[in-house]
Amino acid sequence: MPVADLGDIKLNYSEQGAGSPVVGIMGFSLDKRFWSITAPAVTKTHRLITFDNRGVGRSTGPVVGTIDEMANDTIRLMDHLELDKAILFGISMGGTIAQRLTLDHRDRVSALILAVTWARPIEYMRRNHELATLISAAAGPEGLLQASLLRMFTPRFFELGREAIDQMVASFARPGSPEAAPIEVLQGQLAAIDKFDALAELPGISCPTLVLGGKMDVMVPGLASEEIAAAIPGAELKMFETGHGCMVEEMEAFNATVSDFLTRLS
């Protein structure tokens, strides 16, 4: 896999498809492998660039302290790849990075897709993150993974999609797979997440925007997606009937919504 050597950090990235570029920004603790389910919705019509955030997967660099730093990492990758402009597709924490990048570099973003993300500190999430910090300290990355799975998917999906979940867990331990992110990286990301606050700035975003949320999300409440869509002029909002893992649980509907939005942009 190619690596963008940016001096203080090295970002592992990959490209697939052809057409106008879409930069995919992944969420808390996850590497670019987790784009595999959503990628087909993008690569039908566009070139998809995905990467591991610093300290995650095969990317390296100092522990992150703010969302602004990760937004700067992303714009530096775009510069490295000579992308004057791109569509940003951010999932969860990746959505906050996409918002910050758009607000700071509006001329570099042609459109936005913001999935299961938020734009301001939410007390429910802060308490969730306190619990995640305790779990990671006591049980390490494996314990945090198991706890996160319980909050990512609905109870029904655990009954109907057990094999898919087991395969996801097994992928972490597959030979040759990247090691789980160190505890200090996870705690740095959680601290950055809790400080992010851009809701008041969002009315300044003018590019076409699609917001995707989950009505049963217990990691990032659906109200956060509704707030974002209300704040960005002309934003489209699609709320799914499941939770934070709606791109897995409702893969066909999720991908169709993304594909339709990108096709209309084209």
- Does pLDDT of 210 surpass 90? yes
How would residue 160 be classed by pLDDT, with cut points 50, 70 and 90? confident
Give the separation between CA 205 and CA 15, rounded to whole angstroms. Answer: 27
- Does pLDDT of 10 surpass 90? yes
pLDDT in tens, 66-86: 999 999 999 999 999 999 999
| Overall number of domains in the chain | 1
> Which of 57-61, 152-156, 163-167, 186-190 has the lowest average pLDDT?
163-167
How would residue 205 be classed by pLDDT, with cut points 50, 70 and 90? very high
> Which of 45-59, 152-166, 188-202 has the lowest average pLDDT?
152-166
CA distances from 84 to 22, 78, 109 (A): 12, 7, 9
Instruction: Provide the CATH number for the domain around residue 249.
Output: 3.40.50.1820
Domain that holds residue 137: 3-265
- Does pLDDT of 146 surpass 90? no
pTM, two decimals, is 0.96
